[in-house]
């Protein structure tokens, strides 16, 4: 899935596979549902960085897609901290900055392994703001849904 802002900022997220092999038949295993996520981020000034980490579960990956779909459909996240969709691992979170006249601005919060390498160690997270049309966000959500289909909950 690629999100590209009108100013050239870009965030690309790809699922690479499960962190661990499948559990024995019939055994539910939280650890078997961790997915490797690869991210590539580009700033308008041309700087870019990547990361790779097992930081989303299968159900969190689906929740991320559902969050994008709610934003596209006009369902506003609640005010305050509830506007931020975070996950078990703090590497990635998303939030809705604003939505006006068919344009949406989504924030991608990057921490721990996903932070830019030049960021001062005292800074906990780096936030990208990506403004795009609703149709562009819908296409990105479609691409994410196609990608997560390959990784069912185990």
* Listed range (50-54, 121-125, 127-131) with the worst mean pLDDT: 121-125
Cβ distance 87 to 55 under 8 Å? yes
Mean pLDDT of the 38-60 span: 98
Estimate to the nearest angstrom the gap between the alpha carbon of 79 and the chain centroid.
Answer: 20
What's the CA gap between 4 and 38, in Å, rounded?
16
**Which of the four pLDDT bands, split at 50, 70 and 90, describes residue 26?**
low
Per residue in 108-118, pLDDT (tens digit) is: 999 999 999 99
pTM of the entire predicted model: 0.92
Domains in the chain: ranges and CATH: 2-148 (2.30.31)
Cα dihedral angle (146, 90, 41, 69), rounded to 10 degrees?
40
pLDDT at residue 53 greater than cutoff 70 = yes
Cβ distance 72 to 57 under 8 Å? no
């Amino acid at each position: 899935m690629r999100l590209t802002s009108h100013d050239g900022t870009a965030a690309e997220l790809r699922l690479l596979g499960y962190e661990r092999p499948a559990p024995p038949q019939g055994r539910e295993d939280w650890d078997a549902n961790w997915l490797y996520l690869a991210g590539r981020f580009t700033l308008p000034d041309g700087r870019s960085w990547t990361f790779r980490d097992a930081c989303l579960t299968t159900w969190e990956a689906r929740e991320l897609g559902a969050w994008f779909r709610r934003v596209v459909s006009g369902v506003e996240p609640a005010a305050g901290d509830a506007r931020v969709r975070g996950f078990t691992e703090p590497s990635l979170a998303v939030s809705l900055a604003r939505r006006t006249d068919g344009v949406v601005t989504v924030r991608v919060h990057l921490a721990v392994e996903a932070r830019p390498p030049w960021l001062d160690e005292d800074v906990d997270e780096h936030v990208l703001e990506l403004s795009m049309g609703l149709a562009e966000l819908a296409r990105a959500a479609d691409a994410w849904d196609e990608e997560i289909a390959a990784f069912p909950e185990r």
